[in-house]
């Protein structure tokens, strides 16, 4: 590794290279974090028509399940 | 390292649990107007995986069981090229495709499957008693084992709890 002697506190001249590596890492992280919003409408495995006899239509009744701790 | 198998085969009479596979599960799609008398309805069938919690199922604490359709990765790839690509499959594997979850291949005798994709966007509620009868009719079935089962459940929770912000914070540059 070469070292610049032109300043009172010698600095590594490889810093620029290190920075570009960090930049690359940031870009990679960003790409890694992207979530894709893909929607596929899959057809059902099978589809057919039936005739149904509706005998009665009633409003549903609640079916509460209380937690055991109460 | 111990083996952590993804799947097991369970008998038809075993209690239904989260992560159980049911093949050809019918869903009734009624016509738009429903009244007393004869109506026509469409039946659509899917291979599904049970999403409801095992404890609720075991103690009959629900009337309807939440199920998600599943697809072999090849079939979903034939509908959408992204799922055919290496990038798409890799995104799926890494859980970056919200709404879809990848399950491993199964090599158990008689239940061999390719990688399968769970579709969280199109879930259905199926009456528990009906599902019990269907499982008896279908015979032995495949079961997703822990911790892969909990991982599936967590992926569904992550999908369901998403919040779309009307004004998001701009990307840092």
Q: Residue B65 pairs with which residues in a beta bridge?
A: B126
Count of structural domains, chain A: 1
Q: Show pLDDT as tens, one digit a residue, over chain B (173 residues).
A: 568 999 999 999 999 999 999 999 999 998 878 888 888 899 999 999 999 999 999 999 999 999 999 999 999 999 999 999 999 999 999 999 989 999 999 999 999 999 999 999 999 999 999 999 999 999 999 999 999 999 999 999 999 999 989 999 998 88
Containing domain of residue B103, as a range? 7-30+40-160
Contact list in A for residue B100 (CB cut-off 8 A) is: 38, 40
Q: Is residue A30 part of a domain?
A: yes
Q: What residues 54-73 of chain B have any CB closer than 8 A to a CB of chain A? A: 56, 61-63, 69, 71
Whether residues A57 and B46 touch (CB distance < 8 A) is answered with: no
Containing domain of residue A35, as a range? 10-43
Count of structural domains, chain B: 1
Q: What is the pLDDT of residues A14-24, one digit of tens each?
A: 444 555 656 65
Kindly report the nearest CA distance between residue B49 and chain A, in angstroms: 14
Residue with tokens 């009456």: B127
pLDDT at residue B129 in the model: 96
Residues B92, B74 contacting (CB under 8 angstroms): no
Q: What is the pLDDT of residues A20-62, one digit of tens each?
A: 656 655 555 656 667 778 899 999 999 999 999 999 999 988 8
Using CB atoms, pick whichever of A43, A48, A56 lies closest to residue B43: A48
Q: Which helix (H) or strand (E) holds B49?
A: strand B37-50
Cis ω on the peptide bond leading into residue B43 (within 30° of 0)? no
Q: Is residue A29 part of a domain?
A: yes
* Number of other CB atoms surrounding residue B122 within 10 Å: 14
Beta strands B64-72; B124-127: pairing state: antiparallel
Kindly report the nearest CA distance between residue B21 and chain A, in angstroms: 15
Q: What is the pLDDT of residues B25-60, one digit of tens each?
A: 999 998 878 888 888 899 999 999 999 999 999 999
Residues B57, B128 contacting (CB under 8 angstroms): yes
- What is the phi/psi pair of residue B33, to 5°? -110, 125
Q: Is residue A49 part of a domain?
A: no
- The model's confidence at residue A68, banded by pLDDT at 50, 70 and 90, is confident
CATH at residue B131: 2.30.30.110
pLDDT at residue B173 in the model: 82
Model-level pTM? 0.83
How many residues comprise chain B?
173
User: Which 3 state secondary structure label does DSSP give A4?
Assistant: strand
């Amino acid at each position: 590794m070469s070292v610049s002697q032109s300043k009172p506190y010698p600095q590594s001249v490889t810093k620029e290279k290190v920075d570009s590596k960090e930049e690359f890492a940031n870009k990679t992280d960003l790409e890694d974090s992207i979530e894709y919003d893909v929607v596929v409408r899959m057809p059902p495995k099978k589809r057919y028509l039936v005739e149904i006899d509706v005998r009665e239509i009633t409003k549903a009744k609640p079916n509460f399940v209380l937690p055991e701790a109460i | 390292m111990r083996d952590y198998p993804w799947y097991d085969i369970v008998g038809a009479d075993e209690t239904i649990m989260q992560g159980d596979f049911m093949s050809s599960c019918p869903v009734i799609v009624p016509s738009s107007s429903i009244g007393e008398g004869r109506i026509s309805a469409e039946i659509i069938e899917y291979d599904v995986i049970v999403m409801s919690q095992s404890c609720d199922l075991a103690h009959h604490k629900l009337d309807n069981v939440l199920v998600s359709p599943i697809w072999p990765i090849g079939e979903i790839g034939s509908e959408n090229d992204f799922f055919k690509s290496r990038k798409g499959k890799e995104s799926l594997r890494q859980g970056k495709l919200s709404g879809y979850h990848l399950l491993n291949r199964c090599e158990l005798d008689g239940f061999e499957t390719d990688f399968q994709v769970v579709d969280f966007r199109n879930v259905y509620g199926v009456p528990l008693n009906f599902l019990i009868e269907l499982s008896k009719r279908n015979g032995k079935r495949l079961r997703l084992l822990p911790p892969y089962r909990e991982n599936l459940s967590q992926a569904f929770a992550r999908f369901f709890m998403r919040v779309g912000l009307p004004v998001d914070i701009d990307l840092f540059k």
